Amino acid sequence: MSGDHHNTDDTGPAARVKALEAILTEKGLIDAAALDAIVDIYETRVGPRNGARVVAKAWTDSEYRKRLLANATSAVAELGFAGPEGGHLVAVENTDRIHNLVVCTLCSCYPWPVLGLPPVWYKSFAYRSRAVSDPRGVLRDFGLELAPEVEVRVWDSSAEIRYLVIPERPKGTEGMSEDALAGIVTRDSMVGVAKIAAPASRRIDSGRARA
Residues that bind other proteins (CB under 8 A): 1, 3, 5, 13-14, 16-18, 20-21, 23-24, 27, 29-30, 34-36, 38-39, 42-43, 47, 84-85, 88, 105-109, 116-117, 119-121, 123-127, 129-130, 132-138, 141-142, 148-161, 210-211
Q: Indicate if 108 belongs to the active site.
A: yes
Catalytic residue among 74, 107, 133, 206: 107
Q: Indicate if 107 belongs to the active site.
A: yes
Concatenate the DSSP letters of all residues of the chain into one string. ----TT--STTSHHHHHHHHHHHHHHTTS--HHHHHHHHHIIIIISSHHHHHHHHHHHHH-HHHHHHHHH-HHHHHHHTT---TT-SSEEEEE--SSEEEEEE-SSS----HHHH-SPPHHHHSHHHHHHHHH-HHHHHHHTT----TTSEEEEEE--SS-EEEEEPPPPTT-TT--HHHHHTT--HHHHHTS--PPPPSSSS--GGGG--
- Nearer to other proteins among residue 21 and residue 178 (C-beta): 21
- Nearer to other proteins among residue 137 and residue 172 (C-beta): 137
CB of 77 to other proteins, least distance (A): 17
CB of 175 to other proteins, least distance (A): 28
- Nearer to other proteins among residue 59 and residue 122 (C-beta): 122
CB of 81 to other proteins, least distance (A): 17
- Nearer to other proteins among residue 96 and residue 149 (C-beta): 149
CB of 194 to other proteins, least distance (A): 10
Concatenate the DSSP letters of all residues of 147-167 into one string. -TTSEEEEEE--SS-EEEEEP
Q: Indicate if 62 belongs to the active site.
A: no
Which amino acids are annotated catalytic?
Answer: 104, 107-109
